[in-house]
Amino acid sequence: MTALTGAMLLALAGCQTAPGTRSTAQGKTEPPAAAAPTQTRAVGTQHAITENRQALDLRVFLADTRSRPDWTPVTLKPSGVLYVQPTAVISRSDLMGIQSATDQKGDGILVLILNDEGLKKMRAATTANPGLRLALVVGHTMLAAPGYASPITQQKLAFGVGSAHNAELAARSVAGVDATSPAGGF
């Protein structure tokens, strides 16, 4: 196992629900939030992505529920397996901003604002690999893995991350804002 694969397994091991589902307050799971919801409401400040040693890393990987050669199988809690491409499509350096938002139900959405290079990478990866999933990893925790139906062509990429609190915490952590806050809670 390569160091990269081992690091990715650690990063993905923190996933609490199967990709494509989200936990509710009652402990049940619901269908996935779309990778690009049609209506969101900003709840937190849009944060610029700048050089910051205290910021958590953010990576987005291609993923699938079916086994693929050379992709890393990741066992999910409470059950299931997701197969993840070992190389990230984009990382924190491909963002120019990040923001927390909520959907129409009040659930948390993390909005990634891609720079031109990040959009180019995302468009190429999703065009070449139609109908897969995008696994969002912040620090060592997978927050979401929604499917996409068509290539990503928008500068803003939204992920359902459970609660508005999760979205705000992730946005602040990736931007390196309020580094004195506790680093848990995803």
pLDDT digits (tens, 9 = 90+) for 20-31: 443 333 333 333
Q: Is residue 180 part of a domain?
A: no
Global pTM reads 0.72
Number of compact structural domains in the chain: 1
Residue 42 CA from chain centroid, whole number: 17
Q: Is residue 181 part of a domain?
A: no
Q: Is residue 183 part of a domain?
A: no
Which residues form the domain of 72?
3-22+31-175
Q: Assign 111 to helix, strand or coil.
A: strand
The number of beta carbons lying within 10 Å of the beta carbon of residue 60 is: 27
Q: Is residue 50 part of a domain?
A: yes
Find the CATH number of the domain harbouring 86.
Answer: 3.30.1360.200
Q: Is residue 184 part of a domain?
A: no
Give the residue among 109, 118, 113 at the shortest CA–CA distance from 49.
113
Q: Is residue 57 part of a domain?
A: yes
Give the residue among 111, 109, 97 at the shortest CA–CA distance from 161.
109
Tens of pLDDT, residue by residue over 48-87, are 655 666 688 999 999 999 999 999 998 888 889 999 999 9
Tens of pLDDT, residue by residue over 113-172, are 999 999 999 999 999 999 999 999 999 888 999 999 999 999 999 999 999 999 999 999
Taking 80 as the threshold, does the pLDDT of residue 181 lie above it?
A: no
DSSP states along 155-182: SEEEEEEESHHHHHHHHHHHHT-STTS-
pLDDT number for residue 154: 95
Count of H helices and E strands in the chain? 3, 13
